[in-house]
Structure formats: structure tokens, C-alpha cells
Amino acid sequence: MNSRLIRKLHRWLGLAFSVSVLIASGSGVLHNVMTRTQAPPPPVKPSGGGMDVNAIKLSVAEAVAKLGDDKPEVLAVNLRGIGGQPWYQIFVKAPPTQKIFTTTSNGPRYVSAVDGRVDPAMDEAYAAEIASKFLGGASVKKTDYLTNFNSEYINIFRVLPVYRFDAGDALETRVYVSTTTGSMTRHTDRQRQFEANIFTNFHKLGFIPNKDTRDLVLTVVNIGVFLVACLGIMLFFATRPKKK
């Protein structure tokens, strides 16, 4: 083995890929700090207001009939308490030609279990009620409705679609709510998001928007770090003192 060549390769490759090691290790330390300083994600459990079950007058079949669809294929039916009243939350299969997700097509539809009234505004009202309850009754404002992940609500949160509500406080608190699960999916604020952005961009190269490109860069970097380690091992044996 040519120790001089190995030393030179190790020197320059080590210099090139040490930057990625520093970035990954530094952001990894931050991630451990975040797990200690930030509250865990909210549990996935039904939330919102309660309901008076004695007020229910319609059966599930009667509620589905109120939708006015011709023999809809019902996927799921939930009973939700919204504003203290019972509402049927009905999911029906979207038409085959439907390609765009909207709250009125692919999303849940709401029928009052009391009087059979159909109200498309109940989805947002239900989400707002969940958000307000999570924040201790604070007033919230809807600022977004996501059907795709973005730089703040990334794919590790898994659930779509979600509403985003802002509390308008000094911390810039915002929460994400899924009416499908009936629960909070994310809670963040200015400081939390600052730390999360550092970890996402430096540890997982989140600043590269295209996933395929990002995965390729991560693969190349890890191969480079692996080669540097192998060269270091080779250099150890190539330069060790020879036995007399």
C-alpha cells in the first residue's frame, strides 16, 4: 500500500466531508436539546366540544340520505360534538374524476343529528373548536388549509389535510388540526420553529426542495464519510511501525 497516496486522499477527503460531519453532529446535539426543552407532540385523540346525546334524532342512514347523493359509497361515519350539538361527520368516496382535494368534495361532510341540516362550514368550525380547546380557550384564526406538506408542516407529521390556526400571541403560537382524526397534529411557535428549522435544514438538508436530489446528496455525503473512515483505517496499518 502506498501510504503517501492514502495519506493524501485521507487528508483532502477528510477536509471535504468533515463539514458534513460537523453539521450533522451539531444539529444532532440540538435535536437532543429540543427533546428536553420542548413538549412532545400532542396525543392523537378525539377532541373538540361535548354533546347532548339525548338530542340525537336522526339515524346514520337518515343522515346519509340528507346528503342528496345518489347511493353514495360511505367510507366512514363519526359522531362529533360541535358547539355542544351532535353532528354526523360522513366520509363518502369521491367521484373517479375528482383529482383535486377540497373540503367539499373529498373531505368530510356534516349533517346535524338533531334536525338533518347539512352545513359545509362545520368542518372549519370543528377544527377551530379543537384548536381553541387545546390552547386553553384562546381565540384562534384560520391562516391555512394544507393538502400537501410544506417547510413547516413536514412529512413526519403524516396526517393530511390539516387546518392551521394562529393564536396571535407574542410567541406566534400556531397549531395544526385534523378533522379526520379529530385531534391536534402539531403545535409550534416562533422559538420552536426556529430550532426545528435548524435541525431540518442542517441535519436532513431540508433546504434542498426536491426529495430525490436531497436523497442523492445525503447518499453521496455518507459514502464520502465512509470512505474517509476506511482510508483512516488503511492509513493506520500502512504507517504502523514495522516489527524488527
Mean of pLDDT over the chain: 84
Confidence of residue 57 (pLDDT cuts 50, 70, 90): very high
175: amino acid identity, one letter: V
**Per-residue pLDDT tens over the stretch 2-12:** 677 777 777 77
Cell of 165: 390556526
Could you give the C-alpha distances from 65 to 74, 123, 174, 236, in angstroms and in order? 11, 19, 37, 77
206: amino acid identity, one letter: G
Q: Under a CB-based contact definition with an 8 Å cutoff, are residues 211 and 197 in contact?
A: no
Per-residue model confidence (pLDDT) at position 187: 92
**Per-residue pLDDT tens over the stretch 192-244:** 888 888 888 887 788 888 889 988 988 888 888 888 878 777 777 777 676 66
Per-residue model confidence (pLDDT) at position 19: 74
**Per-residue pLDDT tens over the stretch 71-118:** 889 999 999 999 999 999 999 987 665 555 555 456 899 999 999 999
Q: Is the pLDDT of residue 184 over 70?
A: yes
Angle (deg, nearest 10), helices 211-238 and 3-37: 130
Q: Whole-prediction pTM value?
A: 0.74
Q: Is the pLDDT of residue 25 over 70?
A: yes
Within a 10 A sphere around the Cβ of 32, how many other Cβ atoms? 9
**Per-residue pLDDT tens over the stretch 115-168:** 999 999 999 999 999 999 999 899 999 999 999 999 899 888 889 999 999 999
